[in-house]
Chain A
């Protein structure tokens, strides 16, 4: 059954912008990204929005919905009251490019500075290693990160205090843990995490 909803989108650039309200017809099962696409198709063809898989796998459509960082493709319209406008804004922790699109390249720069994976000498003459599944499962869990950078966005050290030059953020701490906890890795990243990564800025408030 179709339902008329009010959606407020941020429109503009880093220098100038506003929340613009759109009325849009929504159907059962629609997610926020569907609604944004409908607005783009019918009312605002110049609306900038980054997306790719629509399945919560690529991490492209990160935004803030009613002030909370979320993937637009994984957020159902039915989770919000129909009689209130829904507000969609770009991620706050990163420089805005246009409308809902931000420049997240800082994350990739920080990632490059993490000391690389450094395996021990091969276990066998043919240059191979052996490791157990139960050992590698722990870093594998961290490899499930889809790099949506919502955790970076919600972290108050970056979001509010803008410590981008001093603190690498939760996503990059997890990235460092992927290497650091790997059963074959021999590099020691503790000094990097302490000084370059600014791990002391984390006050474990778990946003």
Chain B
């Protein structure tokens, strides 16, 4: 016997009338996102094995050579992609559910009662997402340039993963393809960003009245196509960044040998 309808429903953490496996999605998210965070931190911290021949790991791009920075050069640039992903509309959902359990799943009891949402510090800072988006767009062009550089092979060959000085010629290795695929997936993720979609056309009510309205509308529709699969691109690009680094790292360590396609 209960005393009210509220007693029937979620009153404590994990309490629910749901009978499906609601915990699987947040548990998987926590596992995969947590694993990526640990790997990315380690890969950035080591400061070694991030380049091989014309390949450069995305964790270290743009590569800033400096003498005054005592730590790994990755830490100079990772704030931008990290900030973009941390404040991303999709990832917010993912980690609020998986790590903050706020809520862990729909219609399931939460561990905390005091809730401020994103009205107070630190979560009100999620609103800087637009500014990280500007940086992320620049990074797409930088990484695309890295792919271009990954097609420039030394005429005089390589020694121990180091390119011989002198002329370069066009060539494509498996690593070039891996890096290009990474840029493609990152582009789909970045150019489907909610903030970019709003910037392009979301804030326009009357396209026929706005300057370059028709072009903005067409662009907005294109971004919308990507935005509808934002979660897919978010995960695919996360995996591709990690796998690109793994591939280049293994080449640099001599564990695997890159194959020149042509």
Instruction: Name A201's contact: one of B2, B109, B118 (CB within 8 Å).
Output: B118
Total residues of chain A contacting the partner, CB 8 A:
46
A27 at the A/B interface (Cβ < 8 Å)? no
Rounded to whole Å, the gap between the CB of B139 and the closest CB of chain A is 23
Cβ contact within 8 Å between B18 and A67: yes
Taking CB atoms, residues of chain A closer than 8 Å to B3 are: 15-17
Q: Name the prevailing secondary structure of the B interface residues.
A: loop
The number of chain B residues with a CB under 8 A from chain A is 39
Measured CA separation A89–B89 after assembly (Å):
32
- How many contacting A-B pairs (Cβ < 8 A)? 121
Hey, what's the 0/1 contact readout for B8-26 against A, CB within 8 Å counting as 1?
A: 1110000011111000000
B65 within 8 A of A: no
> Which of A44-52, A105-113, A178-186 lines the interface with chain B?
A178-186
Q: Which residues of B contact A56 (CB under 8 A)?
A: none
- Tell which of A66, A92, A201 touches B18, judged by Cβ atoms closer than 8 Å: A66
Q: Which residue of A lies closest to B118 (CB)?
A: A200
**B115 in contact with A201 (CB, 8 Å):** yes
Q: Give chain A residues whose Cβ lies under 8 Å from the Cβ of B107.
A: 64, 67-69, 154, 159, 207
Chain A contacts for B249, CB-based, 8 A? none
Contact A156:B103 (CB < 8 A) given known A16-B4, A203-B117: yes
State which of B43-51, B164-172, B178-186, B202-210 sits at the interface with chain A. B202-210
Q: Does residue B255 face the partner (Cβ distance < 8 Å to A)? A: no
Contacts A64-B17, A132-B208, A160-B110 given; does A12 touch B5 at CB 8 Å? yes
Q: Tell me which residues across on chain B come within 8 A of A84, comparing CB atoms.
A: 19
Judge whether A15 and B4 touch: CB under 8 Å.
Answer: yes
Whether B96 and A205, one on each chain, are in contact in the complex, defined by CB atoms closer than 8 angstroms, is yes
B205 adjacent to A185 (CB under 8 Å): yes
The 9 closest A-B pairs by CB, nearest first: A67-B17, A207-B106, A201-B117, A67-B18, A200-B119, A161-B115, A183-B206, A156-B103, A200-B118
Task: Provide 27 A-B residue pairs closer than 8 Å at the C-beta atoms, listed in order of the A residue.
Answer: A16-B3, A17-B5, A18-B1, A66-B17, A67-B17, A69-B107, A89-B17, A90-B5, A92-B9, A96-B4, A132-B207, A134-B207, A134-B217, A135-B208, A156-B103, A160-B103, A160-B110, A167-B117, A182-B205, A183-B206, A183-B207, A201-B117, A203-B92, A203-B93, A204-B93, A205-B92, A207-B103
